[in-house]
Structure formats: structure tokens, C-alpha cells
Amino acid sequence: MPRSLGVTLAALQVFCDVVEHRSFTRAADANFLTQSAVSQRIRSLEKVLGKQLLERSKGQIGVMPTDAGRALYDGAKALLAEARDLELRVKGLTDRIAGTVRLEAVYSVGLYTLPQRLKPFLARYPSVNVHVEYQQMRRIYQNVLSGATDIGIVACPTPKPGIEVLPFGEDEMVVICPPEHPLAQEEKITLSRLEGERFIAFEDDVPTRRITDEHLARLGVQVNIVAEFENIETIKNLVEIGGGVAIVPENTVVRDLTSGSLAMVRLEERDRFTREAGILVQSHRRRRAALEALISALVAP
């Protein structure tokens, strides 16, 4: 930023902490400042930029950014990451890959598959800090495009202007049910066997729901949806207690099969389908060494 703006990196860090914690008090603790000092820095930013950046929300939500505040937050996060990497380079760490990479993932991919890819990467590059957050898919696209995050991982990726999509892999879709359910005795079934069963689905705006609905429609199968959820753990929990059956990616139930809390049934060959996952990165953006190394580690062979 031009020096005439009077915006410092320290002030931007404090502002970002207020947004993330939704609290002046917690941001003060994180930066070893008094609450009044934090308030003063925010007021100074608002004065320099000529915009209100924060507002107190009703209820228990706390402090929330205005539209101008959200724009500043997205840009500030990218700027602070660049500043940290610059500091490392100036300190002479150019002989090894180091720095912070921000990664956002949808829950159903990030929780189950991502750790398997990150573990060997972090062992190889101990000086790289990968900051992982779970977000809704819509928000991940926005943050990748704005530079607020470096990498996004989503299910059923869709190319968009300014975003490059790289392959992360695909998961076979399987039927899950309680171990005592009659379907649990089957090795493979057709999707038509689910007609008449109580079916627990993802919510309409979840990409996995979309591809499942499309596949069922192609096969002429109608299921009796009794509940819809965004979170896959909620779906699995309801199936476990006998609330119905569901179709989920196979990688999300590995631990449940090991513990015996759920049973998995594969689909007959003609009914099989998969869910793709993709890596989102900003197109035509200069990539730092740590970011490039992580992308290489995450891309499916």
C-alpha cells in the first residue's frame, strides 16, 4: 500500500484478528494489547480508509465486518502472508522451502482425505506451516479468487473465471446402513433396492447431492427422502441409530467400518458412480515455493 495511506501491517493483523475472533477482547489478548489500543487501531484504519469496517451484530454473534471490512480482510490476509514469506527470504531461508500456506476445504473431503496427503508433505517440509480451515464451497471459491486463501479443495469442482482446477482424486459412492439392516448382508446391490427405504440425503445445495440425484434420475430410481443434512457426520450418525440408509463417498466411512458402527454395501457395476474432488488455485498468480510444493503434493497422480 502507498505510504501515504498510513496503514501498517500491525494494524492489519489486529483488524484480521478482530474479524476472526469476532471480539475486540480476544484480538487484544492475541496481540498482547489492551482493548482500548485495539479499538484505537481500528478507528485509525477506518479514518484512513474513510469506511466503517466493523459493526456489532445483534445477539451472540459479536463483531462482524461490513462489506468494506470483508474486502479489507480478504486483501489483508493475502498481504500478511506475502509479508511473512518476504521476511523468511530476507532472513536467508531461500535454501529451503518455508512459509505459510492457507488452505480451505469442504468438510467431507478435507476431514477424511486431506490428512493422508498432508502428513508426508509436512514430514518433508517441516518449515512449511499449512493453515487449514473448513468452509462452505461457495466461500472457498470466493476466497481463492480474492487471494484470501491459497488453495481450495472442493467436491465436484466447477471451472470459473480466474480459478484453475486441478485433480485431487475421486471417491466411489457407496450405500451405508446399520450393521443389523438386511442390506448389510449383501455384497453388492442395485440402486433400485433403495426404493421404499428411508433415505437420508445431503441438502439440495451440496454438490454430492446433485450428482446423486442426477445418477438416480438416469437410472429411473426414486428414493424416499426422510431427512436432509449438510454435514456428513450428521448423516452417518442418523444412519447408525437406524434412521435410514444413505449414499456417501467410501473414504468417509473407513473408521466407521473399522469400529463396526456402520455397514457398507457397494453398488453393482451398472449402477456405480463416483464423486470427483478438485484443487482450486488462482489463475495466473505468482506462486511461492511453499505453495507450489504443496500443490504438487496434493494433485492426484
Residue 43 grid cell = 478507528
Beta-bridge mates of residue 134: 105
Residue 95, classed as helix, strand or coil, is coil
Separation between Cα atoms, residue 295 and residue 272, nearest integer Å? 30
Q: How many CB atoms neighbour CB 92 within 10 A?
A: 7
Instruction: Flag whether the pTM goes above 0.85.
Output: no
Domains, in order of start, for the chain: 1-95 (1.10.10.10), 170-276 (3.40.190.10)
Q: How many CB atoms neighbour CB 97 within 10 A?
A: 19
Separation between Cα atoms, residue 103 and residue 117, nearest integer Å? 13
Beta-bridge mates of residue 1: none
Per-residue pLDDT of the chain (301 residues; tens, 9 = 90+): 444 567 888 899 999 989 988 889 888 888 888 888 899 999 989 988 999 999 877 655 678 899 999 999 988 888 887 787 676 556 544 456 788 999 999 988 888 889 989 999 999 899 899 999 999 899 999 999 988 999 999 999 988 899 999 999 999 999 999 999 999 999 999 999 999 999 999 999 899 999 999 999 999 999 999 999 998 999 999 999 999 999 999 999 999 999 999 999 999 999 999 999 999 999 877 788 889 899 999 997 6
Q: Do 104 and 135 contact (CB within 8 A), yes or no?
A: yes
Q: How many CB atoms neighbour CB 85 within 10 A?
A: 19
Amino acid present at 26: R
Separation between Cα atoms, residue 294 and residue 103, nearest integer Å? 10
Beta-bridge mates of residue 133: 104
